[in-house]
Chain A
Amino acid sequence: MWCPTATNTALVGVMVDGAALAMLLDQPFMQRALIGGLLTGSLGGLLGSFAVLRQLSFFSDALGHSALLGITLGLLLGINPTLVLIPFAVIFALLINQLVQRSRLPADALLNIVYSTSLAFAVVALSLMETYRGGIHQLLFGDILGIAWPDLAVIAILLLGALVYLALSLRAQVLLTLNDDLAGAFGVRANWHRLAFIILLAVVVAVSIKAVGVLLISAFVVIPACAGRLLSRRFPVYMLISGTLGGGCALLGLLVSGLTNLPSGPCVVIVQFAGFMLALLVSQVRCWSPAIAVPAGPRTPGADPAGRE
């Protein structure tokens, strides 16, 4: 199921006060949406914590935009788009990865070519399909109210798998992020981990599209991680804050969406942005407060006041 029913949407639209919130939370479709948002938001934040440091933000954005082509293919073939989306995203991610590695062009330019072209093909194909014109809005901006229990099971398994993989390979992932050769010399199977991470990121982008839509998907990956980056001085804490912020903001954003009948994706992203601004404020206050700031160690001769040479 991709779209909410008209009854459900209408029901959501009239509820704006506390009692209405309770009624809203009593609705099975809303319960599923909130659980889905919590899980996908946490996943986005968790994966984003590495994606942002590896400068894969634009990669996730390109993947999200290109996913529209996968959905279109599913519709053309008469297959549930959700079933097509995950394998499409994985294959597409691997192809882009190969293209970036083998081409001598800058990665951002290549990603731009790939995502704008696939988006163009998808929009042209969708415009030819009379029956699906009404659904474009949900594809672009997300509508998580249509999420079903099997979808939640898939996302929960994915979150568990991502948690176990990232916990066990945390050191390898960080070393890989810092320096490929340092990681390789240390015995990290760099190519294997790089590929595994890209596949995981592609799957997370694919499953999160239902919540946030193809246009705003990268926000799920980027914003919570950037907020976590501002607040953390330990890597596991950074991952925890990113995942928690991702899940928490998605939950809050979906509630706002449910109460106001606004599209879920933009609501979640606006809440995420508010969380980011709060993190920015907290990090600035920490910098200015001598009691909280970490004392500077002895400086190497020649180091500039900012600590860089």
Chain B
Amino acid sequence: MSSSTATPVLAVQGLTVQRDGLLAVDAVSFQLARETDTALVGPNGAGKSTLVAALLGLLPRQAGTVLLMGHALGPAGQLPRSVRVQIAYLPQTLSLQGRFPLSVAEFVGFGFDPPGPRLPWAGGQRRHGAVQRALERTGCRDLGERLLSELSGGQLKRVLLAFCVVRPRQLLVLDEAQAGLDAPSSEQFHQLLLELRRQEGWTVLQVSHDLEMVRRSCDQVLCLNRRLRCSGAPDHALSPARLAELYGANVVPYRHQHSPGGRHG
């Protein structure tokens, strides 16, 4: 194993974050090995989204270190461009009130070039080719000319994956990406994510409430409730005793019904 392969994609040590003056994340440490799928679970208000925001450099931290691909995240979220370009983030939703005059192809194209100033028309041919391939791979080939605001929830999530896959990346961070989807759409999105992860060799960190999905497909689970309560393989971390400790009594992982009319829950 080469040293670059051995270096964790993400290494967090003693991370402490305050939000609105309250301690939201307290001395959390963990690592993500390359090409693994890790779920971050915990009750509402446990600090999951705050932790993710701090890892990406979107929130200041009070203590601790964050190493992304071996590079230290600066106090104000600074990262070398070569590292930043390897990270993709998939939010719960986009702010698309009313008619938003941006086509799907334009949006996906925004993910192609590295961060920094660029003229809108620069690199058009290369970008166009990459966008078409990304749309094809995510089953969005026919959506390129649609407006983002005209998409259904399921289509929008697939377009967000196209945004991530339009250029090679190492780390994909998802914040409750399946929230708001019905059961078939959620399953379709999950299968697409698994397939792309295999093809792209992504390391995935996903905030999720779908414990059955986490049990089925993740390599590692981090149970957060301000502090890291437990971590490890799903069978270990999602045992009834640990779930009861994390969420309170009588919590069991719910199961998807895979039939089209199946109930999510």
Contact between chains at B184 and A301 (CB < 8 Å): yes
Query: Is B155 a contact partner of A167 (Cβ separation < 8 A)?
Result: no
Given known pairs A170-B120, A185-B173, A229-B101, the reply for A175 and B154 (CB within 8 Å) is: no
Looking at A14-22, A34-42, A233-241, the stretch in contact with chain B turns out to be A233-241
Please pick, from B56, B117, B145, B151, the residue contacting A185 in the complex, using a CB distance under 8 A: B56
A168 touches B91 (CB 8 A): no
Least distance between A242 CB and chain B CB atoms (Å)? 9
Asked if residues A303 and B58 are in contact (CB atoms below 8 Å), the reply is: no
Please report the C-alpha to C-alpha distance between residue A182 and residue B92 in the assembled complex, in whole angstroms: 10
Q: With A179-B95, A184-B77, A185-B58 in contact, do A232 and B153 touch (Cβ < 8 Å)?
A: no
Is B96 an interface position by the 8 A CB rule?
yes
Interface string of A199-235 (1 = CB under 8 A from B): 0000000000000000000000000000011101111
A165 to B, closest residue via Cβ: B117
The residue in chain B whose Cβ has the minimal distance to the Cβ of A190 is B58
B180 within 8 A of A: yes
* A-contact bits for B203-227, CB 8 A (1 contact / 0 none): 0000000000000000000000000
| A297→B142 contact, CB < 8 A | yes
Query: Is the pair A187, B182 in contact by a Cβ cutoff of 8 Å?
Result: no
A309 contacts the other chain (CB 8 A)? yes
Interface residues on B, range: 35 or more
Among B56, B81, B102, B180, residue most surrounded by chain A Cβ atoms (within 10 Å): B102
Q: Are the C-beta atoms of B184 and A297 separated by less than 8 Å?
A: no
Looking at the assembled complex, report how far the CB atom of A81 sits from the nearest CB atom of chain B, in whole angstroms. Answer: 35
Main secondary structure of the interface of B (DSSP, over half): loop
The reply to whether B152 and A236 form a contact with Cβ atoms under 8 Å apart is: no
Identify which of B57, B94, B99, B116 contacts A230 (C-beta below 8 A).
Answer: B99
B182 contacts A301, C-beta separation under 8 Å: yes
Contact in complex: A181, B58 (CB < 8 Å):
yes
Interface residues of A in 59-76 (CB under 8 A from B): none
B43 at the interface (CB under 8 A from A): no
A88, chain B: closest CB distance, angstroms: 30
- Chain A residues closer than 8 Å to B119, beta-carbon distance: 167-168
Is B57 a contact of A300 with CB atoms below 8 Å? no
Asked if B81 and A187 make an inter-chain contact with CB atoms under 8 angstroms apart, the answer reads yes
Nearest-neighbour CB distance to chain B for A175, whole angstroms, equals 6
Of B33-41, B82-90, B238-246, the one touching chain A = B82-90
Given A167-B120, A171-B110, A184-B58, check contact A300 B185 (CB 8 Å). Answer: yes
B152 CB contact (under 8 Å) in A172, A179, A235, A299? A299
- A178:B56 contact, CB within 8 angstroms: no
A228 touches B101 (CB 8 A): yes
Is B230 in contact with chain A by the CB < 8 A criterion? no
CA A233 – CA B57 in complex, angstroms? Answer: 33
How far, in angstroms, from A182 to B103 measured CA to CA in the complex? 17
Chain B contacts of A172 at CB under 8 A? 117
**A36 to B31 Cα, complex, angstroms:** 59
Kindly identify which residue among B77, B85, B101 contacts A233, using a CB–CB cutoff of 8 Å.
Answer: B101
Determine if A233 and B103 form an interchain contact, defined as CB atoms under 8 angstroms apart: yes
The verdict on A300 contacting B152 (CB below 8 Å), with A167-B119, A179-B95, A233-B145 known, is yes
A150 on the B face (CB < 8 A): no
State how many angstroms separate the Cβ of B139 from the closest Cβ of chain A: 8
Which residues of the other chain, B, contact A235 by a CB distance below 8 angstroms?
101-102, 106
Q: How far is the CA of A236 from the CA of B102 in the complex (A)?
A: 9
> Would you call A309 and B100 a contact (CB within 8 A)?
no
Q: Determine how close the nearest CB of chain A comes to the CB of B174; give it in whole angstroms.
A: 11
Kindly identify, within residues 156 to 194 of chain B, every residue whose CB is under 8 Å from any CB belonging to chain A: 173, 175, 180-182, 184-185, 188
Interface string of A161-203 (1 = CB under 8 A from B): 0000001111110110111111011111010000000000000
A178 contacts B96, CB within 8 Å? yes
Residues of B near A8 (CB, < 8 A) are none
User: Given contacts A179-B93, A302-B182, could you give 19 more A-B pairs where the C-beta distance is less than 8 Å?
Assistant: A167-B120, A168-B119, A174-B107, A178-B94, A180-B58, A182-B91, A187-B81, A229-B98, A232-B101, A234-B101, A234-B102, A295-B142, A300-B152, A300-B153, A301-B182, A301-B185, A302-B152, A307-B152, A308-B152
List the 8 shortest-distance A-B pairs measured between CB atoms, nearest first: A187-B115, A300-B154, A303-B152, A185-B89, A309-B153, A238-B101, A297-B142, A168-B117
Question: Interface of A with B (CB < 8 Å)?
Answer: 53, 55, 167-172, 174-175, 177-182, 184-188, 190, 228-230, 232-238, 294-304, 307-309
